[in-house]
Amino acid sequence: MTDQSHALIPHTDGIFTGNLYIFHAFDIGDEINLEAVSNAKHIITRFYNVPKFFKNYHMPLEIDLPHPHSSYGCQSVRLHNFGTISLTYRIPFEDTLEEVRKNIEVIDNKFQEQSVIDAGNVFKAIKDFTKGGRFFLTKSSYLVIQVDQLPQYVDTMELKREHGNTIVSMLRFETETLAEYQKAAVLDDSIGYFKGDLIIVDIEAAFVYDPDYQEILYLFEFANIQALELRFFDRLLDQKLNLIYEERFGKVPFSSYLPFVGTNHKSPIDELSKLKVDIQVIIERMESSIKLVGEPYFSEIYEQLVDKLDLNGWRNSIDQKLEITGDIQSVNQHKIDSIRGEMLEVLILILIFIEILIALWQHR
Protein backbone atom coordinates (compact mmCIF):
# COMPACT_ATOMS: atom_id res chain seq x y z
CA MET A 1 0.00 0.00 0.00
CA THR A 2 1.22 3.52 -0.70
CA ASP A 3 0.20 7.01 0.31
CA GLN A 4 1.33 8.65 -2.92
CA SER A 5 -0.99 10.03 -5.60
CA HIS A 6 -0.96 8.14 -8.85
CA ALA A 7 -2.10 8.23 -12.45
CA LEU A 8 -3.87 5.41 -14.27
CA ILE A 9 -1.24 2.77 -15.05
CA PRO A 10 -2.10 0.02 -17.57
CA HIS A 11 -0.61 -2.89 -15.62
CA THR A 12 -0.90 -6.38 -17.02
CA ASP A 13 0.49 -8.33 -14.06
CA GLY A 14 -2.48 -8.15 -11.71
CA ILE A 15 -1.53 -4.78 -10.21
CA PHE A 16 -4.39 -2.32 -9.78
CA THR A 17 -4.38 1.34 -8.79
CA GLY A 18 -7.16 3.15 -7.01
CA ASN A 19 -8.29 4.58 -3.70
CA LEU A 20 -10.04 3.50 -0.55
CA TYR A 21 -12.62 6.11 0.41
CA ILE A 22 -13.83 5.81 3.99
CA PHE A 23 -16.83 7.86 5.10
CA HIS A 24 -17.42 8.57 8.78
CA ALA A 25 -20.35 10.47 10.27
CA PHE A 26 -20.87 11.57 13.89
CA ASP A 27 -23.96 12.97 15.57
CA ILE A 28 -22.63 15.69 17.91
CA GLY A 29 -25.68 17.78 18.81
CA ASP A 30 -29.16 19.03 18.01
CA GLU A 31 -28.12 21.84 15.69
CA ILE A 32 -24.97 23.52 14.35
CA ASN A 33 -25.08 27.24 13.58
CA LEU A 34 -23.25 27.10 10.24
CA GLU A 35 -23.30 30.88 9.78
CA ALA A 36 -21.58 31.41 13.13
CA VAL A 37 -19.03 28.71 12.30
CA SER A 38 -18.23 30.30 8.92
CA ASN A 39 -17.64 33.66 10.65
CA ALA A 40 -15.39 32.22 13.36
CA LYS A 41 -11.79 33.40 12.99
CA HIS A 42 -10.23 30.14 14.18
CA ILE A 43 -12.04 28.01 11.57
CA ILE A 44 -10.97 27.81 7.91
CA THR A 45 -13.84 27.17 5.49
CA ARG A 46 -13.60 25.64 2.02
CA PHE A 47 -15.59 26.02 -1.16
CA TYR A 48 -18.11 23.19 -1.44
CA ASN A 49 -18.64 22.09 -5.03
CA VAL A 50 -22.30 21.10 -4.86
CA PRO A 51 -23.15 18.04 -7.01
CA LYS A 52 -25.84 18.62 -9.62
CA PHE A 53 -28.29 16.25 -7.96
CA PHE A 54 -28.20 18.08 -4.61
CA LYS A 55 -30.51 21.01 -3.97
CA ASN A 56 -28.91 24.34 -3.13
CA TYR A 57 -30.55 24.78 0.26
CA HIS A 58 -29.60 23.05 3.52
CA MET A 59 -26.10 22.59 2.11
CA PRO A 60 -23.34 21.53 4.53
CA LEU A 61 -20.38 23.76 5.38
CA GLU A 62 -16.96 22.38 4.46
CA ILE A 63 -14.04 23.27 6.73
CA ASP A 64 -10.40 22.34 7.32
CA LEU A 65 -9.40 20.08 10.16
CA PRO A 66 -8.42 22.32 13.10
CA HIS A 67 -4.66 22.92 13.25
CA PRO A 68 -2.34 21.59 14.41
CA HIS A 69 -3.16 17.99 13.55
CA SER A 70 -1.29 14.92 12.35
CA SER A 71 -4.18 13.29 10.51
CA TYR A 72 -3.40 11.59 7.21
CA GLY A 73 -5.73 11.15 4.28
CA CYS A 74 -8.60 13.37 5.41
CA GLN A 75 -10.07 14.66 2.17
CA SER A 76 -13.05 16.62 3.51
CA VAL A 77 -14.77 17.71 6.72
CA ARG A 78 -18.41 18.76 6.34
CA LEU A 79 -20.78 20.14 8.96
CA HIS A 80 -24.53 19.68 8.66
CA ASN A 81 -26.90 22.03 10.43
CA PHE A 82 -28.84 19.14 12.02
CA GLY A 83 -25.84 18.34 14.23
CA THR A 84 -23.65 16.02 12.16
CA ILE A 85 -19.95 15.95 11.26
CA SER A 86 -19.03 14.04 8.09
CA LEU A 87 -15.40 13.04 7.44
CA THR A 88 -14.07 11.52 4.21
CA TYR A 89 -10.67 9.79 4.03
CA ARG A 90 -8.82 8.86 0.84
CA ILE A 91 -6.10 6.18 0.91
CA PRO A 92 -4.41 5.53 -2.48
CA PHE A 93 -3.13 2.06 -3.35
CA GLU A 94 -1.13 0.34 -6.08
CA ASP A 95 -1.24 -3.37 -5.48
CA THR A 96 -3.00 -6.62 -6.30
CA LEU A 97 -6.60 -6.91 -5.20
CA GLU A 98 -5.57 -9.87 -3.08
CA GLU A 99 -3.13 -7.70 -1.11
CA VAL A 100 -5.76 -5.00 -0.75
CA ARG A 101 -8.12 -7.63 0.65
CA LYS A 102 -5.51 -8.69 3.23
CA ASN A 103 -4.97 -5.12 4.42
CA ILE A 104 -8.43 -3.62 4.15
CA GLU A 105 -9.69 -4.49 7.64
CA VAL A 106 -6.53 -3.17 9.30
CA ILE A 107 -6.82 0.07 7.34
CA ASP A 108 -10.51 0.40 8.15
CA ASN A 109 -9.85 -0.12 11.89
CA LYS A 110 -7.02 2.42 11.80
CA PHE A 111 -9.25 5.10 10.33
CA GLN A 112 -12.10 4.21 12.67
CA GLU A 113 -9.79 5.33 15.47
CA GLN A 114 -8.41 8.29 13.50
CA SER A 115 -11.90 9.54 12.69
CA VAL A 116 -12.81 9.68 16.40
CA ILE A 117 -9.72 11.82 17.11
CA ASP A 118 -10.37 14.14 14.13
CA ALA A 119 -14.09 14.48 14.82
CA GLY A 120 -13.28 15.21 18.47
CA ASN A 121 -10.99 18.06 17.44
CA VAL A 122 -13.67 19.45 15.12
CA PHE A 123 -16.23 19.23 17.91
CA LYS A 124 -13.99 21.20 20.28
CA ALA A 125 -13.62 23.91 17.63
CA ILE A 126 -17.38 24.26 16.99
CA LYS A 127 -18.79 23.36 20.40
CA ASP A 128 -19.76 26.97 21.15
CA PHE A 129 -21.84 27.03 17.95
CA THR A 130 -23.57 23.71 18.61
CA LYS A 131 -26.90 23.45 20.38
CA GLY A 132 -27.12 20.46 22.71
CA GLY A 133 -23.51 19.55 21.93
CA ARG A 134 -22.13 16.22 23.12
CA PHE A 135 -19.41 13.99 21.68
CA PHE A 136 -20.74 11.66 20.51
CA LEU A 137 -23.94 9.61 20.72
CA THR A 138 -23.85 7.73 17.43
CA LYS A 139 -21.41 7.19 14.56
CA SER A 140 -21.65 5.51 11.19
CA SER A 141 -19.11 4.51 8.54
CA TYR A 142 -18.98 3.16 5.00
CA LEU A 143 -16.06 2.16 2.76
CA VAL A 144 -15.74 2.48 -1.03
CA ILE A 145 -13.07 0.57 -2.95
CA GLN A 146 -12.47 2.64 -6.07
CA VAL A 147 -10.37 0.90 -8.75
CA ASP A 148 -9.02 2.57 -11.89
CA GLN A 149 -10.10 0.97 -15.15
CA LEU A 150 -7.62 -1.19 -17.08
CA PRO A 151 -7.70 -1.94 -20.84
CA GLN A 152 -7.84 -5.71 -20.35
CA TYR A 153 -11.00 -5.39 -18.25
CA VAL A 154 -13.21 -3.34 -20.54
CA ASP A 155 -15.49 -6.37 -20.36
CA THR A 156 -16.50 -6.37 -16.70
CA MET A 157 -17.64 -9.98 -16.99
CA GLU A 158 -13.98 -10.87 -17.31
CA LEU A 159 -13.14 -8.77 -14.25
CA LYS A 160 -15.82 -10.54 -12.20
CA ARG A 161 -14.74 -13.93 -13.50
CA GLU A 162 -11.07 -13.44 -12.57
CA HIS A 163 -11.41 -11.36 -9.39
CA GLY A 164 -15.01 -11.90 -8.26
CA ASN A 165 -14.03 -13.99 -5.23
CA THR A 166 -11.53 -11.37 -4.05
CA ILE A 167 -13.93 -8.47 -4.63
CA VAL A 168 -16.74 -10.10 -2.67
CA SER A 169 -14.40 -11.01 0.19
CA MET A 170 -13.16 -7.41 0.33
CA LEU A 171 -16.70 -6.09 0.54
CA ARG A 172 -17.41 -8.40 3.48
CA PHE A 173 -14.01 -7.71 5.16
CA GLU A 174 -13.15 -11.40 4.90
CA THR A 175 -9.72 -12.87 4.18
CA GLU A 176 -11.06 -16.20 2.89
CA THR A 177 -13.13 -17.04 -0.17
CA LEU A 178 -16.89 -16.95 0.38
CA ALA A 179 -19.31 -19.66 -0.71
CA GLU A 180 -20.45 -19.58 -4.32
CA TYR A 181 -24.03 -18.61 -3.50
CA GLN A 182 -22.77 -15.70 -1.36
CA LYS A 183 -20.53 -14.60 -4.20
CA ALA A 184 -23.36 -14.85 -6.72
CA ALA A 185 -25.77 -12.93 -4.47
CA VAL A 186 -23.34 -9.98 -4.28
CA LEU A 187 -22.16 -9.95 -7.91
CA ASP A 188 -25.65 -10.37 -9.37
CA ASP A 189 -26.62 -6.95 -7.98
CA SER A 190 -23.79 -5.17 -9.82
CA ILE A 191 -24.68 -2.26 -12.09
CA GLY A 192 -22.97 -0.02 -14.64
CA TYR A 193 -23.74 2.76 -17.08
CA PHE A 194 -21.23 2.47 -19.91
CA LYS A 195 -19.44 -0.64 -21.11
CA GLY A 196 -16.61 -1.29 -18.70
CA ASP A 197 -18.34 0.28 -15.70
CA LEU A 198 -18.99 -1.83 -12.64
CA ILE A 199 -20.45 -0.81 -9.28
CA ILE A 200 -21.21 -3.32 -6.55
CA VAL A 201 -23.00 -2.02 -3.46
CA ASP A 202 -22.97 -4.10 -0.30
CA ILE A 203 -23.88 -3.66 3.36
CA GLU A 204 -20.61 -2.17 4.68
CA ALA A 205 -18.62 -1.43 1.53
CA ALA A 206 -18.90 -0.89 -2.21
CA PHE A 207 -16.69 -1.62 -5.23
CA VAL A 208 -16.49 1.14 -7.86
CA TYR A 209 -14.90 0.49 -11.26
CA ASP A 210 -15.90 3.65 -13.13
CA PRO A 211 -13.68 6.49 -14.44
CA ASP A 212 -16.36 9.10 -13.64
CA TYR A 213 -16.73 8.16 -10.01
CA GLN A 214 -16.28 11.52 -8.27
CA GLU A 215 -19.95 12.53 -8.15
CA ILE A 216 -20.96 9.01 -7.15
CA LEU A 217 -18.98 9.41 -3.93
CA TYR A 218 -21.40 12.07 -2.71
CA LEU A 219 -24.18 9.48 -2.80
CA PHE A 220 -22.23 7.17 -0.50
CA GLU A 221 -21.48 10.00 1.91
CA PHE A 222 -25.11 11.14 1.90
CA ALA A 223 -26.48 7.62 2.46
CA ASN A 224 -24.04 7.09 5.34
CA ILE A 225 -25.30 10.30 6.99
CA GLN A 226 -28.90 9.19 6.50
CA ALA A 227 -28.11 5.85 8.14
CA LEU A 228 -26.50 7.69 11.06
CA GLU A 229 -29.47 10.00 11.65
CA LEU A 230 -32.08 7.26 11.31
CA ARG A 231 -30.24 5.00 13.75
CA PHE A 232 -29.80 7.91 16.16
CA PHE A 233 -33.50 8.80 16.09
CA ASP A 234 -34.52 5.16 16.45
CA ARG A 235 -32.26 4.80 19.49
CA LEU A 236 -33.48 8.09 20.99
CA LEU A 237 -37.13 7.10 20.61
CA ASP A 238 -36.38 3.74 22.22
CA GLN A 239 -34.89 5.50 25.23
CA LYS A 240 -37.84 7.89 25.59
CA LEU A 241 -40.43 5.13 25.22
CA ASN A 242 -38.59 2.93 27.72
CA LEU A 243 -38.79 5.73 30.27
CA ILE A 244 -42.54 5.86 29.77
CA TYR A 245 -42.93 2.08 29.97
CA GLU A 246 -40.90 1.98 33.19
CA GLU A 247 -42.97 4.88 34.62
CA ARG A 248 -39.82 6.84 35.36
CA PHE A 249 -41.41 10.12 34.38
CA GLY A 250 -43.18 10.29 37.75
CA LYS A 251 -46.65 11.56 38.49
CA VAL A 252 -48.13 14.48 36.62
CA PRO A 253 -48.33 17.52 39.00
CA PHE A 254 -51.77 18.45 40.30
CA SER A 255 -51.48 21.89 38.66
CA SER A 256 -51.48 20.31 35.18
CA TYR A 257 -55.10 19.27 35.70
CA LEU A 258 -56.24 22.81 36.47
CA PRO A 259 -57.85 24.73 33.60
CA PHE A 260 -55.70 27.55 32.17
CA VAL A 261 -52.93 26.97 34.74
CA GLY A 262 -52.25 23.43 33.56
CA THR A 263 -51.54 24.50 29.99
CA ASN A 264 -48.28 26.10 31.15
CA HIS A 265 -46.98 22.83 32.55
CA LYS A 266 -44.50 21.00 30.30
CA SER A 267 -44.61 17.28 30.93
CA PRO A 268 -42.29 14.55 29.56
CA ILE A 269 -45.12 13.68 27.18
CA ASP A 270 -44.94 17.22 25.81
CA GLU A 271 -41.19 16.81 25.35
CA LEU A 272 -41.86 13.59 23.44
CA SER A 273 -44.27 15.46 21.18
CA LYS A 274 -41.65 18.14 20.47
CA LEU A 275 -39.11 15.43 19.71
CA LYS A 276 -41.59 13.90 17.26
CA VAL A 277 -41.83 17.18 15.36
CA ASP A 278 -38.04 17.67 15.35
CA ILE A 279 -37.46 14.17 13.96
CA GLN A 280 -40.03 14.60 11.21
CA VAL A 281 -38.54 17.97 10.19
CA ILE A 282 -34.95 16.67 10.01
CA ILE A 283 -35.90 13.49 8.12
CA GLU A 284 -37.92 15.53 5.62
CA ARG A 285 -35.01 17.95 5.24
CA MET A 286 -32.57 15.12 4.49
CA GLU A 287 -34.89 13.39 2.04
CA SER A 288 -35.64 16.64 0.20
CA SER A 289 -31.94 17.54 -0.10
CA ILE A 290 -31.39 15.17 -3.01
CA LYS A 291 -33.19 15.18 -6.36
CA LEU A 292 -32.42 12.31 -8.72
CA VAL A 293 -35.24 12.80 -11.21
CA GLY A 294 -33.74 12.50 -14.69
CA GLU A 295 -30.63 10.75 -13.33
CA PRO A 296 -31.39 7.03 -13.81
CA TYR A 297 -27.84 5.85 -13.11
CA PHE A 298 -27.51 7.81 -9.87
CA SER A 299 -31.04 6.79 -8.92
CA GLU A 300 -30.16 3.11 -9.34
CA ILE A 301 -27.03 3.46 -7.19
CA TYR A 302 -28.93 5.35 -4.50
CA GLU A 303 -31.76 2.79 -4.49
CA GLN A 304 -29.21 0.04 -3.91
CA LEU A 305 -27.71 2.03 -1.03
CA VAL A 306 -31.18 2.49 0.47
CA ASP A 307 -31.73 -1.27 0.19
CA LYS A 308 -28.32 -2.43 1.47
CA LEU A 309 -28.23 0.02 4.38
CA ASP A 310 -31.86 -0.80 5.14
CA LEU A 311 -32.78 2.88 5.28
CA ASN A 312 -36.46 2.12 4.67
CA GLY A 313 -36.41 -0.42 7.50
CA TRP A 314 -35.03 2.19 9.90
CA ARG A 315 -37.53 4.74 8.62
CA ASN A 316 -40.44 2.33 9.14
CA SER A 317 -39.22 1.58 12.66
CA ILE A 318 -39.12 5.30 13.43
CA ASP A 319 -42.57 5.86 11.91
CA GLN A 320 -44.01 3.10 14.10
CA LYS A 321 -42.45 4.60 17.22
CA LEU A 322 -43.64 8.08 16.25
CA GLU A 323 -47.13 6.62 15.89
CA ILE A 324 -46.81 5.15 19.38
CA THR A 325 -45.76 8.56 20.74
CA GLY A 326 -48.88 10.04 19.15
CA ASP A 327 -51.04 7.39 20.83
CA ILE A 328 -49.34 8.03 24.17
CA GLN A 329 -49.93 11.75 23.80
CA SER A 330 -53.61 11.18 22.95
CA VAL A 331 -54.14 8.85 25.93
CA ASN A 332 -52.35 11.23 28.27
CA GLN A 333 -54.30 14.25 27.02
CA HIS A 334 -57.59 12.35 27.27
CA LYS A 335 -56.74 11.46 30.87
CA ILE A 336 -55.97 15.08 31.73
CA ASP A 337 -59.11 16.35 29.96
CA SER A 338 -61.27 13.80 31.80
CA ILE A 339 -59.85 14.75 35.20
CA ARG A 340 -60.24 18.44 34.41
CA GLY A 341 -63.87 17.82 33.45
CA GLU A 342 -64.52 15.89 36.66
CA MET A 343 -62.90 18.67 38.70
CA LEU A 344 -65.13 21.26 37.04
CA GLU A 345 -68.19 19.14 37.81
CA VAL A 346 -67.10 18.87 41.46
CA LEU A 347 -66.56 22.64 41.63
CA ILE A 348 -70.04 23.24 40.18
CA LEU A 349 -71.59 20.88 42.75
CA ILE A 350 -69.69 22.63 45.53
CA LEU A 351 -70.94 26.02 44.33
CA ILE A 352 -74.52 24.73 44.18
CA PHE A 353 -74.17 23.29 47.67
CA ILE A 354 -72.83 26.61 48.96
CA GLU A 355 -75.74 28.47 47.34
CA ILE A 356 -78.20 26.08 49.04
CA LEU A 357 -76.50 26.63 52.39
CA ILE A 358 -76.62 30.39 51.93
CA ALA A 359 -80.29 30.23 50.95
CA LEU A 360 -81.12 28.09 54.00
CA TRP A 361 -79.15 30.41 56.26
CA GLN A 362 -80.97 33.47 54.92
CA HIS A 363 -84.36 31.76 55.27
CA ARG A 364 -83.53 30.82 58.84
Within a domain: 156: yes
Residues forming a β-bridge with 295: none
Among residues 180, 214, 248, the one where a domain terminates is 214
Asked if residue 172 belongs to a domain, the reply is yes
Counting other chains too, the contacts that 34-43 makes at CB distance below 8 Å and 24 or more residues apart are 34/60, 34/61, 34/79, 34/81, 36/129, 37/61, 37/63, 37/79, 37/126, 37/129, 40/125, 40/126, 40/129, 42/66, 42/125, 43/125, 43/126
Q: What residues contact 11, with CB distance under 8 A and at least 6 apart?
A: 17, 150
Give φ, ψ of 354 to 5 degrees. -65, -40
Asked whether residue 121 is assigned to any structural domain, the reply reads yes
Per-residue pLDDT at 257: 52
Q: Quickly list H helices, the chain.
A: 34-39, 97-126, 156-171, 180-187, 214-245, 268-287, 296-308, 311-363
Q: What is the pLDDT of residue 11?
A: 47
Which amino acid makes up residue 62?
Answer: E
* pLDDT one-digit tens code per residue, 275-317: 778 888 887 777 777 777 678 888 899 999 999 999 999 988 9
Can you give the residue range of the structural domain that contains 246? 221-363
In a domain, 55, yes or no: yes
* Cβ-based neighbours of 28, under 8 Å, separated by 6 or more: 83, 84, 85, 119, 123, 130, 133, 134, 135, 136
- Kindly report whether the peptide bond that precedes residue 232 is cis, defined as omega within 30 degrees of 0: no
Position 286 scores a pLDDT of 74
Which positions of the chain have pLDDT values less than 70? 1-13, 55-58, 245-271, 293, 329, 331-333, 336
Question: Do 104 and 205 belong together in one domain?
Answer: yes
- If asked whether residues 51 and 142 sit together in one domain, one would say yes
With respect to residue 69, please indicate whether it lies within any of the assigned structural domains. Answer: yes
pTM, full prediction = 0.82
For residue 293, what pLDDT is reported? 66
Which of 185, 214, 243 represents a domain boundary (last residue)? 214
Indicate the number of domains in the chain.
2
DSSP code per residue over 71-103: --SEEEEEEETTTEEEEEEEEEEEEEHHHHHHH
> Same domain for 192 and 326?
no
104 and 251 within one domain: no
Q: In this structure, are 98 and 206 located in the same domain? A: yes
Q: Specify whether 288 is located in the same domain as 158.
A: no
Q: Among 214, 248, 283, where does a domain finish? A: 214
- Identify whether residues 139 and 229 lie together within a single domain: no
10 falls within a domain: no
Q: pLDDT value at position 360?
A: 82
Is position 3 within any domain? no
